[in-house]
A and B are shown apart, each in its own frame.
Chain A
């Protein structure tokens, strides 16, 4: 059983930590959630259907995140939003790279500020590449509900003024980010002329 438990930790730790990290503002909180999830797994290991272990863990993580947000709603959470960026960006980084990182950091912030249902579904679907079926099982929703929440969440991100301004700035400057965006757009819109 112990070996089974350790295998489960090794297999799912990344997914659980990522989910918590992209949902919460402080890295320490994500670590706490990860620990909490695996403690619960140890307590319920015998009862859990091992064929659905991934979905079970994600559901526990999702509930733990909700509880955590409720508990800490009024407290001043330690924000380390840009820590990752600062760690990853050296002095010799180009402006374009910095812009990309800045955009991604802002994006992470915007994702974290979304309402819980939108945020969880965007993280599960777009970042963690989970299938609609898996998300459905984790969140106890129908597939159509998942799709609706996903589309609404994405639309809310597109409505973000910060992201749009950053996009306009970068696009106006003609840095590689804009080129990359143009390139990806062209790839997906074969035969489409852009005005």
Chain B
């Protein structure tokens, strides 16, 4: 019997905090009251717990002297606030509700992108722009080349191709039979032959051969 009482006391004393916090339902409260009403030990424990709780709750909120926070206020005043339109904008956004904080920048980006999207959609897909002919420039920077310019460019190109051919041959000799290296000359010739097959744009000159 005594052990049963002890275990009851143990459980009741475990419940003291729940009782003091008002977290018990009515049935639990009734059981708690019934035990405390007939058990002097638990009643005394409850009294002590209650007094302790009341003492803790009645401990005052304290405040420090103003002098303690004076350097802190000075710190804030000493650092000048760097105002900029960007910070002001961020601060303005911060002050708005969360959905607007994200929706407004997204709307702005969408508005900026709008002309690009329309420009792209106006082009017919799969159709390339026609090649520009001499004198058909779209801007002030386009110029018409004279025959002398073309001849000079072809001479430069021939020189460059000769150099590349020599480099290609030298590379072939250096590597020997270990690797098959196609000289640049052969690659370029193959490209021109491929181009010659196209009937629409026949090669007008052969600067290399």
Residues of A within 8 A of B (CB): 1-2, 5-6, 9, 13-15, 17-18, 21-22, 30-31, 34-35, 38-39, 42, 50, 103-104, 107-108, 111, 122, 126-129, 150-151, 154-155, 157-158, 163-164, 167, 171, 177, 180-182, 184-185, 188-189, 191-195
Q: Which of A39, A150, A184 contacts B51 (CB 8 A)?
A: A184
Cα–Cα distance between A35 and B76 once the two chains are bound (Å): 12
Structural contact, A127 and B59, CB atoms closer than 8 A: yes
Structural contact, B68 and A34, CB atoms closer than 8 A: yes
Chain A CB within 8 A of B38 CB:
yes
Cα–Cα distance between A5 and B78 once the two chains are bound (Å): 13
Chain A CB within 8 A of B184 CB:
no
Structural contact, B69 and A18, CB atoms closer than 8 A: no
In the bound complex, residues from chain B placing their C-beta under 8 Å from that of A189 are 33, 36, 46
Structural contact, A193 and B81, CB atoms closer than 8 A: no
6 additional contacts (CB under 8 A) given A22-B59, A50-B94, A127-B59? A22-B62, A154-B53, A158-B52, A181-B47, A192-B33, A194-B43
Structural contact, B64 and A30, CB atoms closer than 8 A: yes
In the bound complex, residues from chain B placing their C-beta under 8 Å from that of A129 are 57
Total A-B pairs in contact (CB under 8 Å)? 127
Q: Is the interface of B mostly helix, strand, loop or mixed?
A: helix
Residue pairs across A and B with Cβ atoms less than 8 A apart, 27 shown, are A6-B76, A13-B64, A14-B63, A17-B63, A18-B63, A31-B64, A31-B68, A34-B64, A42-B72, A42-B75, A50-B94, A104-B59, A107-B52, A127-B56, A128-B61, A158-B45, A180-B51, A181-B47, A181-B50, A181-B51, A189-B33, A189-B36, A189-B46, A192-B33, A192-B37, A195-B39, A195-B44
Structural contact, A182 and B52, CB atoms closer than 8 A: no
CB distance from A120 to the nearest CB of B (A): 14
Chain A CB within 8 A of B48 CB:
yes
CB distance from A75 to the nearest CB of B (A): 22
In the bound complex, residues from chain A placing their C-beta under 8 Å from that of B61 are 14-15, 18, 127-128
Chain A CB within 8 A of B20 CB:
yes
CB distance from B43 to the nearest CB of A (A): 4
Residues of B within 8 A of A (CB): 17, 19-20, 33, 36-41, 43-59, 61-65, 68-69, 71-73, 75-77, 79, 81, 91, 94
In the bound complex, residues from chain B placing their C-beta under 8 Å from that of A17 are 62-64
Cα–Cα distance between A98 and B69 once the two chains are bound (Å): 32
In the bound complex, residues from chain A placing their C-beta under 8 Å from that of B17 are 150-151, 154-155
The 5 closest A-B pairs by CB, nearest first: A195-B40, A181-B51, A194-B43, A193-B37, A17-B64
A110: nearest chain-B partner, CB-CB = B52
In the bound complex, residues from chain A placing their C-beta under 8 Å from that of B77 are 2
CB distance from B33 to the nearest CB of A (A): 5
B70: nearest chain-A partner, CB-CB = A35
> Do A14 and B68 form a contact, CB below 8 Å, given A193-B37, A194-B47?
no
CB distance from B69 to the nearest CB of A (A): 6
> Do A184 and B54 form a contact, CB below 8 Å, given A17-B62, A189-B36, A195-B43?
yes
CB distance from B57 to the nearest CB of A (A): 6
